[in-house]
Amino acid sequence: MFKWIHRFGSAPFVYRLAGALSPWVGMACLILLCAGIYIGLVVAPSDYEQGESYRIIYVHVPAAILSMFVYVVMAIASAIFLIWRLKLADVVAQASAPIGASFTFLALVTGSLWGKPMWGTWWIWDGRLTSELLLLFLYFGYMALRAAIEQPQSAARAAAVLAVVGVINIPIIHYSVEWWSTLHQPATISKMGESSMHPSMKRPLFMMIFGFQLLYAYVLLIRMRTGILQREARTSWVAQLPEVARD
């Protein structure tokens, strides 16, 4: 069993595995997102309070969830890199940062678009919005720190430390609506107790959440392959790849 797990530390194995998985993950992502968007925008009924404007939830909520999920993945991968010096863990962290920043930016933009008709303002400095904005800055800081240090190993270690320390912001985002007085509504979907959403509205929301997770997985696989090629460019196994040999 441990020998099988050890294979995930092999760059050639992970490169080929990512190449084999990415088309299937991409197809599943496309199906889920198309179905979720259609059901959420066309089939699901209007909300009795917010009318049609609530439908932005099918982009905003998945983006907000993935903004935190990706950062947790990045922090765990960074911790693994710092403790066990596993290079592929650093590849995962580095590949995840731009994806997480994109999800966070999308969550902030769609939140502002949703907030204008609901709150009468595009932005307010409450706990949830401010901590989500801080998350975007953490992503930017991680990428900027890697770019600012010329020595790759030093850049990777410094960025990994920032990622691990910054993970403290994730529970702050999650519990901000409970800890402080805020305009932002509490969680619509609760793990404990019944959801406030009708099943006809909740089903496409889950489809979009899973679709966004597959989108992250798909882009991550592609970016990991690129990152592995860049790091292993001078190795013999890369030179023997058909796609490299043709170039």
Instruction: Please give the pLDDT value at position 119.
Output: 80
Instruction: Please give the pLDDT value at position 192.
Output: 42
Instruction: Please give the pLDDT value at position 50.
Output: 83
Question: Cα angle vertex 211, ends 50, 97, to 5°?
Answer: 100
Instruction: Please give the pLDDT value at position 118.
Output: 80
What whole-number distance in Å separates Cα of residue 110 and Cα of residue 135?
16
Q: Which amino acid is at 231?
A: R
Structural contact between residues 180 and 126, judged by C-beta atoms closer than 8 angstroms:
yes
**CA torsion 209→211→214→219, rounded to 10°?**
-110
Instruction: Please give the pLDDT value at position 126.
Output: 84
Instruction: Please give the pLDDT value at position 193.
Output: 46
Q: What does each C-alpha distance from 39 to 8, 35, 44, 46, 205 come to in angstroms?
A: 38, 6, 6, 12, 9
What whole-number distance in Å separates Cα of residue 241 and Cα of residue 19?
12
Instruction: Please give the pLDDT value at position 3.
Output: 62
| pLDDT over 70 percentage in the chain | 90
Instruction: Please give the pLDDT value at position 8.
Output: 82
Residue at token pair 């959440």: 209
Helix-helix angle 57-84:199-231, to 10 degrees: 40
pLDDT profile of the chain (247 residues), mean per 10: 71 96 98 97 88 92 97 98 96 98 97 86 87 97 97 97 98 85 64 65 96 98 97 91 69
